[in-house]
Structure 1
Amino acid sequence: MRPSPHHEEPGLPFWQRWTGLSEIWVGADLSSRLLLLLRWLAVLGQGLTLAMAEKFGVEIPWGPCGIALGITLISNVILAWWHRQMPGQHLGGGFFHVLLGDAATLTFLLYWTGGLTNPFAIFYLVQLTLAAVALRSSAAISLGLLMGSAAAVLLIHHQPLRLQQGGPLSPSIQVYGQFTALFLAGAFVLVMLVAIRRRSHRLQMERQKLRQELESRERFLSVAALATGFAHELATPIGTLALAAAEMQTHPDAETAALMVKEAARCQEVLQRLRTLGQEALGQSSTPCEIGHIISTTLADLPPTQRQRITLPLPEDSRHAQVACAGLREALLVLLRNALLSSADDLPVGLNVRLSDEYVAFVVEDRGPGFTTEMLAHWGEPFRSTRAAGEGMGLGLFFVRRLAASMQGSAMVENRPEGGARVTLSLPRLLHSGPASP
């Protein structure tokens, strides 16, 4: 038994709070108060059914039936006392033992009242329904097997019901009994199914709310990653501008002024790229561009020494295929720079383009040490990097993964069998429905 918080929805009628219908589940478990209510109803129903059967002239063995009713009554009194003495506690695993005892009591009653010919044998299904709701799968299956074995025994061994004057029961009495048993069992199953549906709906709403919170958090992390990356990229030209401005105060010259103009233009270019990425993040349409153009502009941003190390077997038919421009150059720069830094200075890095009817795949391969097992399991998470501390912020692959997701594409990382790493960025191929970037 374990503690469980006692929750009741405000504003519910008193009868729902008192009966336990306001808390059919406590956490992930069936409410102890509801189980108590069901067992009180079972004792009352069994007693009334036996009394009514006797009124219709059925011979009732009150001795054994009284023992069964007394056991259920006494055990429920003990459970009620425990429930009052231990507020906030929950039966937990004790549900199995209670339901096992109830199954044994039902079997004992059925043995003395006609076995499976008794219409109330259908309450085996009621108890199985309760077990399926309240217990783990293994416990519910075990209880079901025990009930099945008990039913098999009752099929052969039981005391038949007879009229007080002797002789078998009349068909009318059997029909009344079947109707009563079906009505009560159906009402119970209906209540449980409605409760399950309400709980399923509540859990679905909670999952939807959690999904929205996670998506909001991912969007925040995406913005944080972009802001951090662009702030890092702007830091260099702004620092250069500050030094040049200080130099101009003391020794103004044309070369320093030209440097300031160049670095200011560099800042404007970075800000323009940030604006383009922001438009893509807001779901605005992105300008299409040809693959050949986007690759040439990407390579132009790399130093000549790094550009020479990149092998580019670009098929001629892929040069004019179109993809969305926004963010793609930044993503390719991330992948190429990572590959260049992972490989030795004299080793080449491959950039391949693969076309299909619907997608364009950019494949970057290096000849470095490859990804660690941990990185393969957690790649794309923010602030995870394979490089030493201070050499990278771990936002590059996160940006690539978010870009692919925002454009209904995909990103995949793996280690090459011959050594090194491979990253594949697949983006939807655009139709030639509008002008592409030059």
Structure 2
Amino acid sequence: MNSDVTIRPVERHRAALNDDARAAMNAKNLLLLIYLRWIAVVGQIATIIVVHFYFGIALPLPEMLCVIGFLVTLNIVSLHRRAHSQDRSGAAVFMELLLDVAALTAQLYLSGGATNPFVSLYLLQVILGAVLLEAWATWTIVAVTAGCFIWLTQAYRPISGLHSGMHRNHAGGMFDLHIQGMFLCFLLAAVLLVWFINRINANLRERDARLTQLEHQAFEEEHIMRLGLLASGAAHELGTPLATLTVILSDWDKVDTIRNDRTLSLDLREVQSQLKRCKEIVSGILLSSGQARGEDARRETIGKFLDRTISEWGERRKPGQLEYRNNLAEDLPIVSDTVFRQMLGNVLDNAVEASPHWVGVQVDSEGDDVVIAVHDRGTGFPECMLTGIGVPYCSSKDRDGSGLGLFLVVNVLRKIGGSTVATNRPEGGATVTLRFPVSALRLEAA
């Protein structure tokens, strides 16, 4: 993990998010086509068994079983490509539908052509194309299925016994083989269409919800980028006055009147200490934004990194009591990160502001995740913050600019695959739980 949070230009990022959502939608649609193809395989096998063995109508079994074998092979290949290929384009769905049309045409050719009542299953392919594909691809499916229908009126393998059976049972109405076939085809197409379109609508709703979430994330990252630019500019501008103050304070330190006055001397030391802290903060901002050169990121273990970070914070903020427990099962090597250290400091700062007399920190490991729980004994979070933690400028503090700390925490953790949860403690106070995969900070990821 780099020490800076890289943010792509917002418009390009949003376009990439839309492409990702569209690709995910196509992947789910391909999976639905695979399910339908399995249903078609089972349905064709059942139909062949009934027609050939129950009604005694001779069918070209070897050829029809070859077509079924082709569909099974196509499904296996499709499942493999879906698991290992990055191709999630609409063209893949288009090709799958064309292959389904080809398989249906082959089966109809072997079983009576256009006289087969299942010829109307072409409409199923057309409707699926209209739902899943762009206009040009849908019209291509229409043209292909229409051409196949016309061809099947002239070229097909007749089925012996079918027409005689139809004439013999003509008076039977619904018991006529052809009418029965038409009814079964209608029922099958209706059931499959209702099921498929309901699943498509569910996928569309899920995609819309995902796009809304991604748009919100893009907006937050745009906000972070602007904050980073403002912070970087402010750090540059603060460099000169801080250097000037350092020189002035050094001169004052040499004045006998100040050196001989214990109170003034102590005050001067405190001002110099705070000035040094301000310079460290400015240097950290410039280093994190890549505008200053520093030493390579420090390599240490996750336990030592957390121990050092929390110890330094405790010396700087001096809470009444800092209760710290490190229960990590394994102390893995990582590359310590300035942004991550500042993020943890934001959470601790919020805790000590809410509860100056006591702050509790507990570190645990759950699988590959590190879980850091920061407790305080303050007034707790208002309900609006519990449901929307990380919303910028949403804070219980009554001052301008509040709420950015948790906003940055949520986004930094999300960037490395982590999460942030805020809860109120039953005994009073609040807990902020940070969870992240330690692999995001490991030495190999540097």
TM-score relative to the length of structure 1: 0.46
* Larger relative contact order (Cα-Cα within 8 Å, sequence gap ≥ 6): 2
Q: Kindly name which structure, 1 or 2, has the bigger radius of gyration based on alpha carbons.
A: 1
